[in-house]
Structure 1
Amino acid sequence: MTTRRPRTPGRTPASRRPIPRRVPTTPPAAATDLPTPEAKAGADGERRVVLAVAIGAHGVAGEVRLKVFAEDLGAHTVLNGGALTLRSVRPGNNGAIARFAEVSSRDAAEALRGTQLWVPRDSLPPLEEGEYYHADLIGLAAFSDTDEPLGTVVAVENFGAGDVLEIERPTGKRFMVPMRADAVPEWNAERLVVTTAFIEA
């Protein structure tokens, strides 16, 4: 499959917001079993996609401040395997403000700080021709067009000119590759190919 357009979780096909490799908060002990944004499976082997992370409480009525990685978080009401039910979400400063059925106080909202909100990968809308989810690229093995192993895709960034893949070599060194047809001519569920001209030594 050699699709071109990215798609993050939600219902906006032309979305170009990446799912970050790291989140800005440190999960509390209660949340340490949750996947990081680049994780492709939970402890039970289920593939998961992180849509947002809780970054604190808002007000005194149990609302939660979120950093959102998806275009339309409100399209997903059942989160974290049914542990959280999203009742409402609205824009907030540097993110969004959400209300969950299970959270009714500021203390309960604050206790969610660092918790990542995820859905199973197979619950996301099907992709159309020319689309991909960032989560499907992260973790792929990267090879040159002469079949030389290069490393692993560890992040998908966007600095305003389109998606850019961050590839980590086995040595730990990283390099960036634009997600364009001339740089990444093909990929599938197991690997992607990078044109030699775009490979950094």
Structure 2
Amino acid sequence: MDNPDELICVGTIAGAFGVRGEVRLKSFTADPEAIEDYNPLVTEDGSLSFEVGIIGPIKNGLSVRLSSVTTKEDADALKGVNLYAPRSRLPSLPDDEFYYADLIGVAVYDTGGTLLGQVKAVHDHGAGDLLEIHGAGLRDSVLLPFTKAAVPTVDLTAGRIIADPPEGLFDA
């Protein structure tokens, strides 16, 4: 999991902002403006690369200039594009923090050792992170609060998460 060339999603382009090619950028870095420190950023397939220059904070993101984007039409065409940085450019994290990308696919067990499923996605809707768990025994995905109480152990080396879910969350 610690491949230094692995790409980690650090932001997404939310659309044009202005008429000279500026874009609205949602930054996924702990300090939103630190996204500029990881230049150049690339698209997932590596086909496009941009130097990001922050103009300033705006509602729900940052106004930024991307190298080679000079028109509103160019900026509009990039709406929804995720931007990535190599893991080697990102800071190492404290023991109790994780990159979302490292949690995807990890097996989730309850405190008795029963497999509950795997992490399908991590969601952040502003009130705290949620792990989306799916698996063979589940009819629908389950959203598990990613808190110390509900998820006391994350062991990425062993590839397992131990969960103590709220009563009834995983009942059919």
| CA separation of 1:88 and 1:158: change in aligned 2, threshold 3 A | closer
Between the aligned partners of 1:160 and 1:67, the Cα distance in structure 2 is: 13
Amino acid across the alignment from 1:143: Y
Structure 1 SS opposite 2:74: helix
TM-score (structure 2 length as normaliser): 0.74
Higher relative contact order (CA 8 A, sep 6+): 1
| CA separation of 1:74 and 1:164: change in aligned 2, threshold 3 A | same
- TM-fit CA distance, 1:100: 1.3
1:200 aligns with 2:159: no
Amino acid across the alignment from 1:123: R
- TM-fit CA distance, 1:161: 5.6
- On the 8 A contact 1:77/1:87 being kept in 2, the answer is no
Gaps (5+ residues) in structure 2?
none
- TM-fit CA distance, 1:109: 1.6
TM-score (structure 1 length as normaliser): 0.65
- On the 8 A contact 1:48/1:118 being kept in 2, the answer is yes
Between the aligned partners of 1:110 and 1:178, the Cα distance in structure 2 is: 35
Gaps (5+ residues) in structure 1?
1-39, 41-45
| CA separation of 1:132 and 1:63: change in aligned 2, threshold 3 A | same
Between the aligned partners of 1:122 and 1:169, the Cα distance in structure 2 is: 32
Structure 1 SS opposite 2:162: strand
Q: Name 1:33's counterpart in structure 2.
A: none
1:184 aligns with 2:146: no
- TM-fit CA distance, 1:178: 2.8
- On the 8 A contact 2:151/2:165 being kept in 1, the answer is no
Alignment: residue pair count = 157
- On the 8 A contact 2:38/2:89 being kept in 1, the answer is no
**Among 140, 144, 157, which residue is 1:173 paired with?**
140
What's the RMSD between the two structures over aligned residues? 2.7
